[in-house]
Structures are given as structure tokens and as C-alpha cells.
Structure 1
Amino acid sequence: MAVVELRRQHVRGNDALVVGHRGASGHRPEHTLASYAEAIRQCADYIEPDLVSTKDGVLVARHENEIGGTTDVAGRPEFAGRRTTRTIDGRAVTGWFTEDFTLAELRTLRAKERIPALRPANTAFDGLYPVPTLDEVLDLARRSRTCDGRPVGVYPETKHPTYFDSIDLSLEEPLVEGLRRAGLDRPGARVVLQSFETQNLRELDRRSGARIVQLVDCTGAPYDLVATGDPRTYADLVSQKGLRAISRYADGVGLCKDRMIPRTADGRLGRPTRAIADAHAAGLTVHGWTFRRENQFLPVEFRRGADPAGIGDLAGEIRAFLAVGMDGFFTDNPGAGAAAVGR
């Protein structure tokens, strides 16, 4: 008798990191536990909660602290008096803000689809899900595994840290405390901390053992630099000198797609820049954002049909960026992202 022992082995394709942007926000309303769970089901390596604070200092997952477009608060008469105008990062914004709600009040609200015209299927889930806390997102990640059996990673972004500091609701301390409670503030934990500002990342680098990624927008400048009169812009940050400076406190950069491959005047992908090569030379990984499957977001050559809400060739776009050295990416459609890297 011949005994043959068969060992199961998962075969990975490209090792590029797939980050579920606000969960699987192309399939469920963003920043809900359902969206994060769907991202995990679609083989995301990491899930990405954007973090803002409630009035009582609890971190919750919302893309912005203004929640009129992502919850049903506008239809709640008991909160009509909370509508106000605040100056966020130098810009007047009118609506309802998480910092004016206690967690108990915020939990009475329900999430809704942010861009229903482009994602009408997601509106079927409007009104079903509450706003999750950081602790709940971390708990979901701890109890879950990726498609290749590893722990699901968490990639939190602190939103408007200078603004929240100005109203005595600092984000950094409760973020680090939350990671410690979850047992995730340790070397080797699958946690990456990110921000469009710089000073708070330097602080997080001192406070936490997590990896750090400096986000870089296509235009403008980090607001903490603007607020202190520092003339540097995001363009300065991705210069060779700027990237070397980032490497002193961060492990990677999260680049707007146009920083890597800008689009031509007719909306097609143009010639790649030196940003990826320069970041790698500085010892930094490069994660690109944001990859979405709807035609409206895609370069012309990857669109399918004329409907802006139509589904184009997202995997093709992702592969074009991987071909020039991108190490990972944020996507609203993790399943398509996983397919693009051959999983």
C-alpha cells in the first residue's frame, strides 16, 4: 500500500497589498462593519477605517466628521438643531458633525450610500447599519482571516488631526490606546497608520510600533504645514529630498494615482513619473489610491461604454500601475483588486 500525504498550499500571485478602501465601499455603504466584512470576503489584505471623534472622545469610522451625506441624520428631526457651519482645514463646511454627538446619540443613526447616482445597488442597504467604533473594526479584523489564511490587517487614517487638536479631541492618543487594548500595538502586528498631515504621523511614530504611511494628495499641501506657515506642498514631499525626509518617520507613502501616472489631456494614462522609483530609493513602499471600477473614475482606455456608472476594466488599470512598481493599492472593489494581482 502506498500512502500519499497531500499538503494544502495556497499559491499567491503578485504580492501587492490589496487594501479595502473604506471596506468594500463599491458594494456596501462605506465605513460599516458590513462593508469591512465584504472586503475581507473579497480577499482584501487590509481594511481601512477613517477615524474621527465623537463629542465624548470615542473614535468612530467615518470618511469625514461631517456626516450629512453618509448617515440619515438629515431626516432626524431630533437633531435638526445640530446643523451648523464649521471651518475644517481652512474651508467652511455646513452640516452635522460627529464632534457634536455623543457616541450614544451617534449610534441611533444609520449609514447610507454616499454616491447613490453611481452606486444605486448600494442604496438597498441604506438604513441597515450603524456607525462602527474603532474597537469594533479592530475586533472584526482580529476575528477574521484573509483568503490566504493570514490575520486581516487594519489601515486606519486619522482625519483632520489639526482640527481635532484645536477642539481638544486629539485622535492620536485614543488610536494608540485602542490598538493596545486589541493587542495590536506590537512589532509584527498587521497595522498601518496613515494621514495626509505630517506632524501627527511623527507623533504616532514615537508613540506606536505600527508601520506609518504618509499620504500624498495630487494637489495642495498638508494642512498642519499650512497652519504653521510652512510653505512645503505635497509636490515638495515627493521630491527626492522630501521622500528622504519622510523616510525618517514613515515606512511608506500613499500616493494619489496622478503622482505615479498622470493622465493626458484626453483622459488616458500618460507617462509615469519618477515618484515610485524615488520613493523606493528612499526605502519607502508605495501604495496608490484610489482604484474604483465605475467608468467615471477610470482612464479612457479602461472604460466600457458611455455610462459614467458603467463598470469598466478596473483590473486592467491596476495592472498598469503595478507594472511601474506600485507595491499595493486602495480599492473600493477588493475582489477586482485581488483578481488583478492573480489571486
Structure 2
Amino acid sequence: MFSRISVLSVLFSSLVSSSCVWNTLDGNPSRLVGHRGEKAFMPEHSLGSYHMAAFESVDYIEPDVVVTKDQVLVVLHNEWLSDTTNVASIPKFADRKRSYLYEGKYTKINRTDYFVFDFTYAELQEIYQVQAPNFPYRPQYFNRDFHIMSLDTYLDQVQNLTTVFNRTYGVIPELKSPELFNYLNPSSNGRWFEDSLLSTFEKRGFFANQPPSRSPLQIEGDLLNSVLNIKPASYQAPNYKLAAIQSFDPDTCKYIASKTKIPVVALDSTKPTWYTPKGLDTLATFSKILSPYKDIMVAGPEAFFDLTKISYNKTEIASLGGFLQPKDLVRECHKRGIELSPYTFYDSRQASGLLCTSSNDTRLTWCPKNKKEELKYFFELGTDYLFVENIFEAQMLRLAHDFKTRYGIDY
């Protein structure tokens, strides 16, 4: 009798679940973006990091983009080299270490280091990428395998992985410190960096058929099939190259939006006005994806900006409609056609970095105890994309949430 009831229950759940969709803008499961590839296991932004992200069936593979002395666009997170390379151990480059000060509207650097813009691309090929040493559980035995790659090499790699695995991977480059690199590489319109990236994308066919149409609604079993690359009988290869372009610089975002229909990702952790109804109206004029630091969607904008000492004018915020709480922020973004892509969800062995783990502020009424609770919260909110590390963990949790969404069985 028990087994019959169980079977009937599952069948009933299956019938009910056919209309169950995620709370994302298009109703599909949140997409996973491999933050710097798969940096939980490989040196970040390395060929190995990108290959592993592809092997784990990630949806997008992220490169950060900076510029060398000889104007080659290369993939590296920082404007300096000491954090993620072995440059300090190479005697011939010892004299390259120097102090550098730059103060722009959105970019501020005051640091002594080895700076990427003091090296040619050929010189960077003498330097190895290394895993950050302050994470003892990350493998350190890939530290003499990979060199810094150019943006072109990255794009070649993603295209090769697309062919090898027979699946589409999105590219989502972030332009790091555009003010700085435009200052170092003057041009008639002051947008050398943005134009260089856009020219590369146009030559490689990324402008064609953009923006892509909305993905069809996934039905029962589609997410698992997608992860396993089991294609439906009706599958048709996309007629576009999946891409988005990111920046923390809103002027860069506006410029890129004026030059291409590739979706623009507005990254942020410092602009309080964006988290109001009228602020979102302005954002919607140039960005299809808002990528806030994740704690803005946990603590709420007011508590986050107060506790991180980001100043704002309360009267101005009120005139813009007031701060939107997380659920309202998702709803209001989706009303305007804006998707949400918070960052960064770390490997489960790392601390979450959320304010609620270190502050006693009474406005912080809830705090996820682990990565499972953290991702579950963001899935339930209807987050459209997540920048993740340890993609394997994120895939398991996303599949578990999809099962809950379709069958009502919690995890």
C-alpha cells in the first residue's frame, strides 16, 4: 500500500510540476558563470581553469581583461601581477617593481607591485600563473603549467571547447579599470580600450543576431539533460555567439551599449541610487543585466551601504522611490527587462564574506549558515545568473533546487 501511495504521489507531483517554473525573468533555472574559470581548483584565468569550467558544464566562462605595454588585451584579474603569478621570483624582472598612483572617477590605484602595463605580451609568456597560496586546500601543483593568455587566445580556447564538448559556452569579459587603460593608451575619442574589445568581438562574429532571443522554457528534466549535454530531438544550434560584456564603470557600460546590442552587465557595489525604482529606470536605458555584490541582496541596500560606509543622500534616495528590498529589487528589475547576476559565491570551504557573519546590526535578520542555504536563497529570489566558484557544488545545488521547483520536494 505504501509503495502505491508513493508512486501516486510522485505521479501527481509530476503533473502539477509541469507548470512550475523558476522565478527568473524567463522562467528557466539560474545560469552559472564560472568566476575566472574554475579558480577553486586551477590558477585563475588559466587555460586549465577555463577547460575545467567547461568540463563542469558551466553556462558562461568569465575573463577579466587588462592591457599590456604593447597594447595587447590579456586575461588577468588585477592590474598588477604579484597576487597570481610567480613574477617576484624572476630576477630579470626585479627592477619592474615600482610604486604607482592613479586616481580616476571609478578607478583608484595606490600600490607598489609589478604592473601588467610595464610588460610586453612576450615578457608575460616568461611568467607562470599560480594558485593563491592562502587557500591550503587548493591544489598547488599546477603552478608551472600556465601563462597569461591574450583575449584572442581565450576566445580561441572557448571556441575549441565548444567544438570538443559540442555545447555552447558564453563569454562574459570584464573590462578592468577602463579609465586607466584609456589614459595609458590615448585615442581620439578616449575609448581605446572599449573600441579594441568591440573590434575583436565584431571581427569574430559576436555582433551577429544580437541580442539572442529568449531561451524556450525548459520542461521537466531539461536542466539535468543540459548539464549532461543530452540534446532534445528538436535541438538547433544557436545562430549567434553567446556573450555579454561587463564593467564597474557606468560610463563604459553606456558607451558599449551605444555600439553593440550584446547585453551589457553593470557591475556594482557602490552606487546606492541604482537600488531605487527611478534608479532602475535609468539603468535600463543601457544595461540588460545588473550585477550587484551579493550582500546587497542579503543585507538589503540600506544596511549594506551604511555598514560598508558608502555615503548617500537620504532625500535623494526617497525622491527616487526609496531603497528596494531584495524581493522587490528582483521584481522591479524583471519588470524593466533587467536580469540579476550577483557575485561571488565561493567554494564551500571559504567564508561567505557576508556582513551578517561579522556584524550585529539588527537589520541583518537572516544569515545563511552555509553555501547550500546561500544559493537556495538566491535561487528562490529568482536570480538570473550567479558568479560561482567550485562549479561542481553549484551544479548540484541548482539541480536540487530544480527538483524542488518541479516536484515540491525540499533539499
TM-score normalised per structure 1: 0.81
Equivalent in the alignment of 2:291: 254
| Counterparts in 2 of 1:272 and 1:147: CA distance versus 1, 3 Å | farther
Equivalent in the alignment of 2:352: 297
- Tell me the distance in 1 between the aligned counterparts of 2:54 and 2:73: 22
* Correspondence for 1:158 among 175, 178, 181: 175
- Tell me the distance in 2 between the aligned counterparts of 1:200 and 1:35: 27
Query: Is residue 2:126 matched to residue 1:108?
Result: yes
Equivalent in the alignment of 1:87: 101
Structure 1 residue 273 displacement after superposition: 5.7
Equivalent in the alignment of 2:389: 332
Structure 1 residue 47 displacement after superposition: 0.3
Give a deviation string over 1:82-124, Cα, whole Å, max 9, x none.
111112423311101111111001111100112x222443322
Structure 1 residue 79 displacement after superposition: 0.8
Any residues of structure 2 matched to 1:199-278 within 5 Å, and which?
199-217=251-269, 220=270, 234-262=271-299, 272=326, 274-278=328-332
Any residues of structure 2 matched to 1:1-343 within 5 Å, and which?
15-88=29-102, 89-114=107-132, 116-145=133-162, 150-168=167-185, 170-186=192-208, 187=210, 188=212, 189-217=241-269, 220=270, 234-262=271-299, 272=326, 274-292=328-346, 293-297=348-352, 313-342=370-399
Q: Is the 8 A contact 2:65 2:77 kept in 1?
A: yes
Q: Is the 8 A contact 1:48 1:155 kept in 2?
A: yes
Structure 1 residue 337 displacement after superposition: 1.5
* Higher strand proportion (structure 1 or 2): 1
Secondary structure (helix, strand or coil) at the match of 1:64 reads coil
| Counterparts in 2 of 1:165 and 1:328: CA distance versus 1, 3 Å | same
- Tell me the distance in 1 between the aligned counterparts of 2:96 and 2:165: 46
> Which letter does structure 1 place at the counterpart of 2:341?
H
Give a deviation string over 1:155-206, Cα, whole Å, max 9, x none.
1000000111111263212211221232223223201001111111111112
- Tell me the distance in 1 between the aligned counterparts of 2:397 and 2:96: 44
Secondary structure (helix, strand or coil) at the match of 1:105 reads helix
Give a deviation string over 1:195-238, Cα, whole Å, max 9, x none.
11111111111222311110111xx3xxxxxxxxxxxxx11122
Q: Is the 8 A contact 2:173 2:244 kept in 1?
A: yes
Give a deviation string over 1:1-33, Cα, whole Å, max 9, x none.
xxxxxxxxxxx9952110000000111110101
Equivalent in the alignment of 2:310: none
Structure 1 residue 272 displacement after superposition: 3.9
- Tell me the distance in 2 between the aligned counterparts of 1:260 and 1:235: 13
Give a deviation string over 1:291-343, Cα, whole Å, max 9, x none.
012242266999xxxxxxxxx95344212111112111001111111222218
Secondary structure (helix, strand or coil) at the match of 2:332 reads helix
Q: Is the 8 A contact 1:155 1:194 kept in 2?
A: yes
Equivalent in the alignment of 1:305: none
- Tell me the distance in 1 between the aligned counterparts of 2:141 and 2:201: 33
Secondary structure (helix, strand or coil) at the match of 1:51 reads strand
- Tell me the distance in 1 between the aligned counterparts of 2:292 and 2:335: 15
Q: Percent identity?
A: 27
Paired residues in the alignment total: 302
- Tell me the distance in 2 between the aligned counterparts of 1:147 and 1:74: 36
> Which letter does structure 2 place at the counterpart of 1:296?
A
> Which letter does structure 2 place at the counterpart of 1:139?
D
* Higher helix proportion (structure 1 or 2): 2
Structure 2 unaligned regions, length at least 5:
1-20, 23-27, 187-191, 213-240, 305-324, 358-368, 403-411
| Counterparts in 2 of 1:148 and 1:298: CA distance versus 1, 3 Å | farther
Structure number with larger C-alpha Rg:
2
Further displaced range: 322-331 or 174-183? 174-183
Q: Is the 8 A contact 1:40 1:146 kept in 2?
A: no
Equivalent in the alignment of 1:3: none
RMSD over aligned CA atoms reads 2.6
Structure 1 residue 128 displacement after superposition: 1.4
| Counterparts in 2 of 1:146 and 1:281: CA distance versus 1, 3 Å | farther
Q: Is the 8 A contact 2:124 2:148 kept in 1?
A: yes
- Tell me the distance in 1 between the aligned counterparts of 2:75 and 2:123: 15
Give a deviation string over 1:211-267, Cα, whole Å, max 9, x none.
1110111xx3xxxxxxxxxxxxx11122221211111111110111111112899xx
Give a deviation string over 1:50-102, Cα, whole Å, max 9, x none.
00000111111111111111111111111111111112423311101111111
- Tell me the distance in 2 between the aligned counterparts of 1:72 and 1:316: 37
> Which letter does structure 2 place at the counterpart of 1:290?
T
- Tell me the distance in 1 between the aligned counterparts of 2:164 and 2:353: 27
- Tell me the distance in 2 between the aligned counterparts of 1:149 and 1:276: 33
Q: Is the 8 A contact 1:45 1:146 kept in 2?
A: no
TM-score normalised per structure 2: 0.68
